[in-house]
Structure 1
Amino acid sequence: MQAFKVALIASVSCIAIPAYAQEMDPDEASARGSEIIVTGRAQRLYRVEQATVGKVAEDPMNIPQAVQVINADLFADQGARDATDIYRNISGVSFFSYAGVTFRGFRQDQSFYDGQRGNPFIGFSVPQLFNIERVEVLKGPAGLFFGPGSPGGIINYVSKTPSDETGLRAVLTGGTYDRIGLSAEATGPVDSSGVITYRLGGFYESMDPYRRNTQNKSRIGDAGIAIKTNESGKLTLQATIYDSELRANRLRGVLVDDDGNFLTSIRWNANEKTDFLNLRSQAYQARYATMIGDRVTFDAGVRYFKATEKQQYHEPRGLDSANPDLVRREFRDQIRPVHGLSFMANLTARVDVLGTEHKFQTGADWYDEKSLLHSRILRSGVPSLSLSNPVYGSGAGDAARAALLPFTTTDTRTKRKGAYLQDQISVSNALLLVAGVRYDKFDDGVTTSTGGTVSGRSTYSDSDVTFRGGAIFKPRPDVSLYASWSQSFEPQAAADQSSDAGGPFAPVTGNQLEGGVKTQLFAGRLQANAAVYRIVRKNILQVDPAQEPINGVDQLAPIGEVTSKGFEIDLTTDITPDWVLLVNYGYNDTKITGTAEGQAITNAVGDRFANAPKHKVGFWTRYQVPAIGAAFAFGGEHVSRRISLSGQTVKPYTIFDASITKGLGFAELLLRVDNIFDKVYAASGFSAQSGHFPGEPRTFLAELRFKF
């Protein structure tokens, strides 16, 4: 809080200092990234002309699926710090838990980095945006390019890379909950000819969040070198280290009644001060891209990551039946080491065949991951905790007692390899046809042991083929009408492939029909997109009641089916040269359309899915006043009613935030307030035992930004 007060005093004392941006004309100001005054923000800053959600760079207007791209300029304008800060900008996406989201009705926990697998924020940590240039969102099945995955869509984080232009940026941060932070990044050429360029970055932030006992400290170190190998070729080497220390922050929710009312303050926490979640991870990658002539491009990448998440925490286990003011707890000691290696290569070639231009794209990828979970759980003798008057300290000795227990280790091995081919046919300047096919081979294995003694082992190998087809019609260059059919698949859990249960079984499949329109009217000042879709997810395993158990093992069958239907609208526009507006709306209706009577499908209650809102609205608007070198912004989000995994109501909520950005000549100051009206709400639901995840109360943030 002290740092926030200092920033406020600094802003008041600097009001009399004329903003440097006032002394320049709009065109000159727009060329200087350090100034807040930019004429036509949607047209110049937020407009994205290339996305890599199709593995290679492509104009989103030529992609026959809904695509959203949020870049670093929007991060800065909104003061976004991690992935959860940008969900409100994405129609069809809402928060589920930790880094997981609900994506067109389906839970999705998987993220890609620069088009490859290897997420360093494993398990229960949220991706940070410090070293991210843009976030790309491909909605619907993405099996053609990314292999196994949820049919809701994928999120691809694109890293910042060395720049040909010299730049230095530093940010001082302060805010409520004793937040204080510092980040800096520098980039530019190493040699006078610009053959070698570099990027160095560092991030540190500390705060004591609103949940009791919690404290967060996060550090990121990022470095990269780019080497021009020829006129159009570049080799980029990058290394990033993440270090997070989260005290008492292996958070579950706060208990609620069946109507979704919190039973106590949202500050309540089942964790003791001695509990923790610490993440240390490293990511290294190399990427080479070049052009061969003027019609062929080639790129290849390799990515390796290694992460260890250590956590000791008290897990809530629901209310004590004898005393409804007490929450029962157990103590968990867990270590999660993960490492993975990924390779990728892509080639595109433009070829004229019988007077028609074909853009052939082919590629292959390979991924190998080893993930361990060492877990021991202490259930007896763990003291309960009061909801109305929690007294901490009595559970501080649980870690020592848990250390006497043996670890149960779950060793999961995952191998993925696939190859794809796509042809984009330019029938005319106005009509494009797209067709693609991919082959995937996967090998999964899970071994479980306790105290070194193996108690279970299962392996499974299979393959699948996915297809994608679409048509794009452009009545004019800035309007794109499209229709597409796309597929995805997810391997069945290795443990369910036992022959005793009737296995092996084919993967879960996802098929989507989508149609829509994308526009970039008035030279990009009005970007409006709309999409309507229907996704059918099949082959979900359930116990087959028509078959008798064999040797005491229930027989499974791919009985389950889920259908997701909806539409989305996204609008980004410059209302005036100084006034920009972003609005998005998503409607989704996801229901179970096939099941065995009396059985449930994962993440579903009855015929509905947990944390899948029917309606979600997000908006943000920014108005700049050049005369005073300042910009004023206002935003909000509405999420309709949902249910938790236990069927409890998750109440709808509407929250608002606002910010002021002021040019100071030597720097730029952002003052932001989130949840202006301090609304108490649940960001998502979890279970009756561990409650709902509360949304953050009213918070203040100040950033003093220096850019050279």
Structure 2
Amino acid sequence: MGEVTGRIELADGQAAEQVSVRVKGTTVGVNSAADGTFRLRAPAGWQVLTVTCLGCTPQEVTVEVKAGQTVAAQPVRLAPGEQQLQEVTVRGAKSLNQRTPSVGKMPIAPLDNPQSTVTIEREVLEQQQALRLSDVLTNVSGVYVMGATGGTQEEIASRGFAYSSANTFKNGVRFNNGIMPEVSSLERMEVLKGSAAILYGNVAAGGILNLVTKKPQFERGGSVGLRVGSFGFVKPQFDVYGAVGQSQKVAFRLNGTYERGDSFRDGVKSNRVYVNPSLLFKLTPKTDLVLEGDYLRDNRTPDYGIGAINYQIFDSRTRFLNTADATNATNQSSATATLTSRLNDTWQVRAVAGFQRYDNELRSAARPTANVIKPGRNYGNWQRNLQRTQTAENYYLAQIDLTGTLRTGRIGHTVLVGADADQYNANALSFIAQAYDSLNILDPSRALGRPKGAVSGYDAMRYNTRTLGNTRRAGFYAQDLISLFDHVKVLAGLRWSYQETPTDVYTYPGLALPATNAATVAENRRYDNAFSPRLGLVYQPTKTTSLFASYANSFTPNSGFDEQGGALAPSLIDQYEVGMKNELFKGALSANVTGYRIINSNQAQAILPTDPRFATSRVAAPQELAGEVTSQGVEVDVQSRPLNGISLIAGYSYNTTTYTKSNIYENGSRLRYNPAHTANASLFYSFANAFANNATLRGLSAGFTAYYVGDRVGGRNTRLLDPSTGRPWASGSDAFQLISVPNYFLFDASLGYSYDRFSVRFKMANLLNELSYNLHDDNSINPIAPRNFSATLSYKL
């Protein structure tokens, strides 16, 4: 036996994916990969390879196969077939374990990757009529919304760790998730669970999200549509694409939407405008350049929810505690350039440059904290303060990756070598919080008067601080998937990251104007670096089953100082993962199981005043890397290919995240926001096969989605010791307590109909009208939406 490699190309030189390559007269064969390459084992001697695909002329290639050696077949360029088809409907048929997420940077098949990955394609988003990112996440086990602070964003987490902006990407570039991203522009959503530090530096240990937007196409097409729904919701949208003029070298795509609506919450409203243009330049047969833009203007009422009293939630869906003129205004724009060049059949270079601008102004009442007030006349009374902030950020990124395959003797290698650098320029202005009025949390209509000296409104607020940040990061990384045998592979890699975090804080003495020469300045300079290793082992007893075990390390920079006044080193987080990936029933069903354990064994915590080191400390609030938090759990992901019109997505996750070593919290106590259990199931059925001969009925489709979120805790973890004194924590008005959040089921149902170029879809969400909440601390308690309805009418251009 020997090995044959080669590449299949389209007529314009682009890679041809999923093209059948067979050894004539045998059952041996493979399909070409995403980059058009193929590799197959064949009997020694002269062999004829047959190359076939739908819509192209079959071709044959003769090659001499030498025993124990690898030979390269001549590249094959496909030619269009002469057969003309009246109508062809093409649907994606890749299974979960055949979709390689681009955010992984390497062309590794999921079965070869010792890490859990999930990709949700656009077809699923359209079937489920996804409106927000949270709708998409109901298809992924173990990734959940942990909060909705201010109602302006969806705080996402996985495996007990929050996804900050450092963990959210759009087209492979970090993306500020301080505002809800637009879903209508997505081609797919990729989830890389677990540590991704080797690829992207200081990202949280739970995983990363990558939002992949729609790309230009040379074939002309598009759609226009209108979505309407409960609470005055209206959303027109459009999507057009095609070649620029008659060009075969330049294609475009432009999609966008406008959205406005009220809310099931009293006094809450929103409107947003979104545009996503992109251009594709085919510079050479082997080199592409994609330019992508993104603009979002989002204005909405900030809404910190219904409040709590004595760490207890008094149920309500509508209670609104903000001022009538509160607003959160955001403008976000970005530009990305991606250059991809195939150096030869086995090596490729990819360079990315990105820029993002983020501007936000918040005018809002402060969050209603869970003040402990004894029952009586003043029960539930709350003094409402005003807050105001302005934030401007510029983000720059440059990244280059070299990927390819090679062999050292009988051992195969899939190699990634890369470097990246990015920079955040941040300018944050805050105003002095001031008393405005008083109201009762349980009855906001009760006028309780205004305290003496209360501010008259947002425009009368005085400046407090301006914070100038200029974070700079750089990293170098290398990774190799080593194929020791056909069924045994090792993935090994290492990254070195460097980070500078200079910060200047200007404090103003309550001025109406921010005169810099009248401010005091506090400077802080930090310089951190860390190594992030990764090691994984994959064993494939069959071609459709993969067993894996891996270790990865990530890091989190710290801002404190030790007792000697030295900058606190980054916290290093160890992650262990084992799992099984299966392709069942000839690839019709993918079923993956993953178990993990994540340990932050050197978490930053305060050195208590009762510690002898405190008395000799050179800083006022010394810290040490001695705490520990452990997250462990299991995840199950199941997806099917469409079969006889039926497609299925299901999942389950169990997680426990606890303090396992702490000097102020009880060991074994559970961290907030993380549900112990989540489960999801989505079933979609197309009647196209059942009514294949009935042009009127074959456009029918129906879907059903169920989503379960288990019990969680919010509030504030109970303290055993007071960090300011080192003595037992005193109960009373300042006691910290947890808030129990009820579990809930969400059931959604949808019905669709398509005829010719028209389609209409109906959706009813939260059929059982379940009530629960998303919490942040004890002061942002936001109810989930009640039963609601939406309908979408669209027309294909």
Q: State whether TM-score is above 0.5.
A: yes
Check if 1:457 corresponds to 2:523: yes
Residue of structure 2 aligned with 1:390, choices 438, 445, 456: 445
Give, in whole Å, the separation in 1 of the partners of 2:315 and 2:654.
32
Q: 1:168 to 1:117 in 2, by over 3 A?
A: closer
Deviation, 1:449, is 1.5
SS of the aligned residue for 1:53 comes to helix
Q: Deviations over 1:499-550 (max 9, x none)?
A: 6664322211111111111123334310111101111113211122332243
Alignment-derived partner of residue 633 in structure 2? 566
Amino acid at match of 1:644: G
Contact persistence 1:319–1:325 (CA under 8 A)? no
Contact persistence 2:386–2:435 (CA under 8 A)? no
Give, in whole Å, the separation in 2 of the partners of 1:588 and 1:116.
28
Q: Which moved more, 1:46-55 or 1:301-310?
A: 46-55
Contact persistence 2:304–2:368 (CA under 8 A)? no
Contact persistence 1:409–1:450 (CA under 8 A)? yes
Percent of aligned pairs sharing the same letter: 23
Alignment-derived partner of residue 710 in structure 2? 640
**How does 1:426-445 map onto structure 2 within 5 Å?**
426-445=483-502
Amino acid at match of 2:686: Q
Amino acid at match of 1:468: R
Deviation, 1:385, is 4.5
Check if 1:483 corresponds to 2:549: yes
Q: 1:326 to 1:48 in 2, by over 3 A?
A: farther
**How does 1:268-417 map onto structure 2 within 5 Å?**
268-318=319-369, 321=373, 323-390=378-445, 400=457, 403-417=460-474
Alignment-derived partner of residue 667 in structure 1? 758
Q: Compute the TM-score of the two structures, normalised by the length of structure 2.
A: 0.79
Q: Which moved more, 1:408-417 or 1:635-644?
A: 408-417
Q: 1:641 to 1:466 in 2, by over 3 A?
A: same
Deviation, 1:642, is 0.8
Deviation, 1:406, is 1.8
Deviation, 1:298, is 0.5
SS of the aligned residue for 2:199 comes to helix
Check if 1:74 corresponds to 2:124: yes
Contact persistence 2:565–2:619 (CA under 8 A)? no
- List runs of 5+ in structure 2 lacking aligned partners: 1-84, 148-152, 509-515, 692-696, 717-737
Residue of structure 2 aligned with 1:505, choices 563, 568, 592: 568
Q: Deviations over 1:273-320 (max 9, x none)?
A: 211001111101100001111010110000000110111011233367
Residue of structure 1 aligned with 2:161, choices 95, 101, 106: 106
Amino acid at match of 2:421: W
Q: Deviations over 1:54-97 (max 9, x none)?
A: 22443222221000111211111111122111121111111112
Contact persistence 1:46–1:73 (CA under 8 A)? no
Give, in whole Å, the separation in 2 of the partners of 1:449 and 1:673.
51
Alignment-derived partner of residue 680 in structure 1? 771
In terms of Rg, which structure is larger?
Answer: 2
Deviation, 1:661, is 0.9
Deviation, 1:700, is 0.5
**How does 1:262-273 map onto structure 2 within 5 Å?**
262-273=313-324
Higher helix proportion (structure 1 or 2): 1
Alignment-derived partner of residue 421 in structure 1? 478
Residue of structure 2 aligned with 1:616, choices 630, 655, 678: 678
Q: Compute the TM-score of the two structures, normalised by the length of structure 1.
A: 0.88
Contact persistence 2:308–2:369 (CA under 8 A)? no
Q: Deviations over 1:193-229 (max 9, x none)?
A: 5211101112111100111111111111111111111
Q: Which moved more, 1:315-324 or 1:366-375?
A: 315-324
Amino acid at match of 2:624: A
Deviation, 1:336, is 1.0
Q: 1:579 to 1:386 in 2, by over 3 A?
A: same
Alignment-derived partner of residue 299 in structure 2? 245
Deviation, 1:595, is 1.4
Check if 1:119 corresponds to 2:172: no
Q: 1:401 to 1:295 in 2, by over 3 A?
A: closer
Contact persistence 1:501–1:553 (CA under 8 A)? no
Residue of structure 1 aligned with 2:281, choices 227, 249, 262: 227
Q: 1:355 to 1:375 in 2, by over 3 A?
A: same
- List runs of 5+ in structure 1 lacking aligned partners: 1-27
Q: Deviations over 1:323-344 (max 9, x none)?
A: 2243332111111111110011
Amino acid at match of 1:284: A
Contact persistence 1:543–1:555 (CA under 8 A)? yes
Larger RCO (alpha carbons 8 Å, 6+ apart): 1
Q: 1:47 to 1:529 in 2, by over 3 A?
A: closer
Q: 1:187 to 1:657 in 2, by over 3 A?
A: same
Amino acid at match of 1:582: I
Q: 1:501 to 1:91 in 2, by over 3 A?
A: farther
Alignment-derived partner of residue 700 in structure 2? 630
Contact persistence 1:289–1:297 (CA under 8 A)? yes
Contact persistence 1:512–1:536 (CA under 8 A)? yes
Q: Deviations over 1:435-482 (max 9, x none)?
A: 000000000122221223134221100211110011122223222221
